Copies of this chain bind each other. A is one copy, B any other.
Amino acid sequence: MSRHPVVDGATRILGIVGDPIAQVRAPEVWTGLFHLHGLNLLCLPYHVAPTDLPAFFAGMRRIRNLAGMIVTIPHKPASVDLVDALTERARIVRSVNFIGIRTDGSWLGDIVDGIGFVENLKMSDADPAGRRTLLVGTGGVGTAIAFALAEAGVSDLVLHDRDTARSASLAERLTALGWPVRAGAPDPDGFELVVNASPAGMKDGDPLPVDAARIAPGSIVADVIVHETELLRRAAAIGCRTIDGTGMMDHQLATMAAHLGLGAHDFSAATARRVAAAVRG
């Protein structure tokens, strides 16, 4: 970075709330981007336990120099009931990972991790539009991704979760919006895009989320997990294009920046990566 971060009496705050919090990358990346653009803003971590979230938010609402709030694990579902309004996707997904502050001071909850996932596919030359898609895992992140994939125009979206009631309920909500979504088995045969949004693969020895032998060669296989999973290794071995979860967060920044009224500045994933690399020096 070319200059020292600004911290003075006029500094505005973008919070990120989670529990735990020490592992998050957002404070470094956002603060680096703010300084790159000469903005007097900092991204600060707030370590808050689940039972304390309502009182914490009530307090943060009183801060006139709060610019917005990123919400991370485990606070995303609870935040739905603690904001004043929701975007359509946050309402359907029932999860909030960003709170924008509107001009009247009210809080607008949004969920943009699905958007980040889809944007990362597009930037990886794997636009999901028109593709028959299987999505495994419909927890918080999987639900957000399902919405974003449906919105991006996949031709057919099959959802699977070990908790079949959960995937069935999500399929129903997305179908009600007019999208071609149904619950089904985790069989990748016949799909052009296979997405793992389940935790399977986080640890060595985890069972595969789908039967890798039935993945169609030439399809695209994407995973939300940030390292190369066994699923991705097997898919690559049969000639599939593979995309891991590392780009998903970086591709959310621009949408969050728009909520902050900073849409005119460059918050692209490429610039975020450049800043993150510089911070780590």
Contact = CB atoms under 8 A, between A and B. Distances in A.
Interface of A: 1, 4-5, 7-11, 13, 16, 21-28, 31, 42-49, 52-53, 55-65, 279
25 contacts: A4-B5, A7-B28, A7-B43, A7-B44, A8-B22, A8-B24, A9-B22, A9-B24, A9-B26, A9-B27, A10-B21, A11-B27, A11-B45, A13-B46, A42-B42, A47-B64, A47-B65, A48-B62, A48-B64, A49-B64, A55-B58, A55-B61, A55-B62, A56-B62, A59-B61
Contacts of A64: 47-49
A60 B46 CA distance: 9
Q: How many copies does the complex hold?
A: 2
A5 B8 contact: no
9 A-B pairs with the lowest CB-CB distances in the bound complex, closest first? A59-B59, A52-B62, A9-B24, A47-B64, A10-B22, A56-B62, A7-B31, A47-B65, A9-B22
Contacts of A56: 59, 62-63
A44 B47 contact: no
A106 to B, nearest CB: 15
A171 B27 CA distance: 50
A48 B28 contact: no
Count chain B CB atoms within 10 A of each CB in A4, A45, A63 and give the residue with the most.
A63
Contacts of A21: 9-10, 65
A45 B10 contact: yes
Contacts of A63: 46-48, 56
Nearest to A63: B46
